[in-house]
């Protein structure tokens, strides 16, 4: 409680549920900032990086916009705009489905795969740094607790 009060510059006694939610928000902002700092030199946002990793996981098979949106970490992202930006960078390509012309298929390009290969270790190192104050057991417990928070 004391640490959070120092961060927020308040002396008010906050309910434990509010402390937890505020801490989650602060931690989320810090994590995003750390990841963005390593992606920015590569002209990528966290959401663009997420789309590229989703597409790489398809191993050459396409996904449509709806499937990408469902797999996004940040569901509020404008997927169409993200795809357009990645197309301009030649990291992904959009094609019309041969069987259904109304269906658009998205693929990662060789350039996109090369970019991911280039930054994979940097992102892995950053994720390791972000979680370095926690033991393996604490990380496992944290994941259990965070999953428990989601009521979906």
Q: What domains can be seen in the chain, in order of their start residue?
A: 44-149 (1.10.10.10)
**Beta-bridge mates of residue 95:** 105
The SS3 of residue 105 is: strand
Among 38, 52, 36, CA closest to 85: 52
What is the distance between the alpha carbons of residues 67 and 56, in angstroms, rounded to a whole number? 14
Predicted structure pTM score: 0.85
Please name the residue that has the structure tokens 């041969």.
98
1 Cα distance to chain centroid: 29
What is the distance between the alpha carbons of residues 131 and 29, in angstroms, rounded to a whole number? 14
- List the pLDDT tens digit at each of the 152 positions of the chain: 556 655 666 677 888 899 899 999 999 999 999 999 999 999 999 999 999 999 999 998 999 888 899 898 877 668 889 999 999 999 999 987 777 767 789 999 999 999 999 999 999 999 999 999 999 999 999 999 999 998 75
Whether the Cβ atoms of residue 53 and residue 110 lie closer than 8 Å to each other: no
CA torsion sign for 95, 106, 46, 76 is positive
CB atoms within 10 A of CB 147: 8
Whether the Cβ atoms of residue 96 and residue 88 lie closer than 8 Å to each other: no
Whether the Cβ atoms of residue 38 and residue 126 lie closer than 8 Å to each other: yes
């Amino acid at each position: 409680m004391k640490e959070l009060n120092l961060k927020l510059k308040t002396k008010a006694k906050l309910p434990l549920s509010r402390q937890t939610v505020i801490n989650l928000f602060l931690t989320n902002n810090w994590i995003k900032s750390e990841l963005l700092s390593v992606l920015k030199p590569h002209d990528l946002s966290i959401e663009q990086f997420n789309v590229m990793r989703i597409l790489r996981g398809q191993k050459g098979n396409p996904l449509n916009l709806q499937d990408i949106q469902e797999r996004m970490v940040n569901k509020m992202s404008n997927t169409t705009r993200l795809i357009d930006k990645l197309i301009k960078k030649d990291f992904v390509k959009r094609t019309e489905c041969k069987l259904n012309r109304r269906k658009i298929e998205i693929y990662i390009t060789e350039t996109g795969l090369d970019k991911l290969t280039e930054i994979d270790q940097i992102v892995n190192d950053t994720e390791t740094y972000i979680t370095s104050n926690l033991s393996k057991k604490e990380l496992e417990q944290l994941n259990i607790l965070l999953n428990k928070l989601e009521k979906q």
